[in-house]
Amino acid sequence: MIADEATMKVYLDSFVQQALQEDIGVGDHTSRACIPEDSRSRARLLIKDPGVLAGVAVARHIFRHVDPQATMDVFLDDGTAVSEGQVAFEVECNTRALLLAERVVLNIMQRMSGIATLSNRFKFEVEDLPVKILDTRKTTPLIRLLEKWAVRLGGCHNYRFGLYDWIMVKDNHIDACGGIRQALERVEKYQQEHNLQLGVTVEVRNLVELYEVLEVGKVTRILLDNFEIPLLKEAVATVGKRFETEASGGITIHNVRQFALTGVDFVSVGALTHSVHSLDLSLKVIK
């Protein structure tokens, strides 16, 4: 996980409350009309697509939020490869509470499982190579923690969580600052003044910028953005082991292995979280 247990609980409490409020509004009139207040039911989470399951722990938190007496029997854990027809878990709780939670549980589990599934496909493509596949900040607002959790469940890796835990000097920073040297020198000064020791990535768009970075130094990693494969291979060889190297831009499941074979240390893929097909799941009352 990418957060400690206490931080995760605070986040989930807030997330669940807001997600339920969005759906419930002034109340679930259908359930109030149809279901006795003290009714209890058991439901089953059905897998309808092959993939990698994610969000079971979140579902447990949601059900216990709507009914502290809710119980779950989990048959398939987060990160498990699943196939159509399997049952992930069964939950028993107050029927009205179950129906309140149903859509929130399905929405987040389908999204997380889609991310985990795609991440696992990328991992499979390069698992025999010494490269790490990274996610990005191209996430859905307010559920970044859950989406990055799903990336890890699929076998890939998290990059920076936000703007605060890693310094990334991108093209806009460089252009607004007046150049690579100016930007990197200011970053170094800023870290010294604020007693920081954050990792520093600098983005380069061509070999001219790469050579300037190599001359200046003061970085952890060089991000080679939108480099074609032959040029990327040359750039990685030029850097050698002086700094970490990362490739980004235009990377898909069909070409990720070609990028990885250049010898780059990291490949960052925004598609892990922004271009995902949700896994089809359903929650059915069984008694």
E-strand ranges in 87-211 read: 87-94, 132-134, 167-169, 200-204
Active site residue 90: no
* Mode of pairing for the β-strands spanning 221-225 and 200-204: parallel
Three-state secondary structure call for residue 210: helix
Q: Which of 9, 170, 189, 242 is catalytic?
A: 170
Residues whose CB is less than 8 angstroms from the CB of residue 124 and which lie 6 or more positions away in sequence, other chains included: none
- Structure tokens belonging to residue 254: 């069909």
Looking at 44, 103, 137, 218, which residue is catalytic? 103
Given the residues 48, 137, 138, 186, select the one marked as catalytic: 138
Q: Which of left, alpha, beta for 169 (phi over 0: left; psi -120 to 50: alpha)?
A: beta
Residues 6+ apart with CB under 8 A from 145: 2, 3, 8, 11, 161
170 is catalytic: yes
Task: Examine the residue annotation and report whether 111 is marked as an active-site residue of this protein.
Answer: no
Q: Which residue out of 78, 102, 135, 225 is catalytically annotated?
A: 225
Q: Which of these, 25, 13, 93, lies nearest to 58 by C-alpha position?
A: 13
260 DSSP assignment: H
* Residue 241 annotated to the active site: no
- Catalytic annotation, pick one of 203, 209, 246, 265: 203
User: Catalytic residue positions?
Assistant: 103, 138, 170, 203, 225
